[in-house]
Amino acid sequence: MNNEKYALLKNKTLLYAEDDLELQSEVEEILNNFFKKIFIASDGDEALDIFIEHQNNIDLIITDITMPNTDGIALSKYVREYNKNLPIIIMSAYTNTDYLLDSIDLNIITYITKPFTTKKVFVLLDKLLDFFNLNNQFTFKDNSIFNFELGTIIIGQEKISLTNKESNFIKLLIENNIVTYDMMYEYLWDYDSPPTSNAVKSFIKKIKKKIPMDFFKNKQGIGYYLNQ
């Protein structure tokens, strides 16, 4: 398999839910070649528990549509209450019009019928590449371009490289109305041992010096927000 083309996916963590244990093992073996980490669930309830515990680290979900306890549609509906944009792929042994209509309402990015053939693997991977490439880029009001996957901002003809922490901070600004200090502690530092106020001020000072644009502002005592 051509892993080089799909190198972007090697940074992604997948939640895979499938109650057919033989198929689950086969698909996991294939997908392990392409993803950083795979959380495995054998029914919908287990998938929900994993999602709740690890939702900040899960980049996409592949789920069977018919599973005990909580099926793939119910799982997707629950996830959508918390995350409107997380890519979800539904697998099924058959095509059911009602399920298809439900999945459209849930913004499912693709629907794969079993068996999971090699051809379907690459169709899925190509769709995921398109999704992540499209959603990893953000254009600011001055036409500067931020690429989260590459960790860069392009301002005019200049490309500025960002640290992981700086890149994650900008992504938080883009995805939230306001990035509170608690959010910064959780996503950028170790929440159990948050940084001193001086460390936060130093981080903000460095990123403002590196990027010569007033793209975020401070809300006193609360956090930061995107100046768009």
Which pLDDT tens digit goes with each residue over 118-165? 889 999 999 998 888 777 778 887 788 888 877 888 888 888 999 989
- How far, in Å, CA of 125 to CA of 19, rounded? 22
- Bridge partners of 222, per DSSP, are none
- Bridge partners of 63, per DSSP, are 17, 90
Mean pLDDT confidence for 8-31: 92
Among 135, 166, 187, give the residue marking a domain's end. Answer: 135
Where in the sequence is the domain holding 143, given as residue range(s)?
137-226
- How far, in Å, CA of 195 to CA of 184, rounded? 10
* Residue 99, C-beta contacts closer than 8 angstroms, at least 6 positions apart: 65, 73, 90, 92
Count other Cβ atoms within 10 Å, centred on residue 173. Answer: 22
- How far, in Å, CA of 195 to CA of 202, rounded? 11
Among 85, 115, 135, give the residue marking a domain's end. Answer: 135
DSSP E strand stretches across 60-136:
60-64, 88-92, 110-113
- The total number of structural domains that make up the chain: 2
* Pair 66, 151 in one domain: no
pLDDT at 50: 96
pTM (whole model) above 0.75: no
**Which of the given ranges, 37-41, 82-86, 183-187, has the highest pLDDT on average?**
37-41
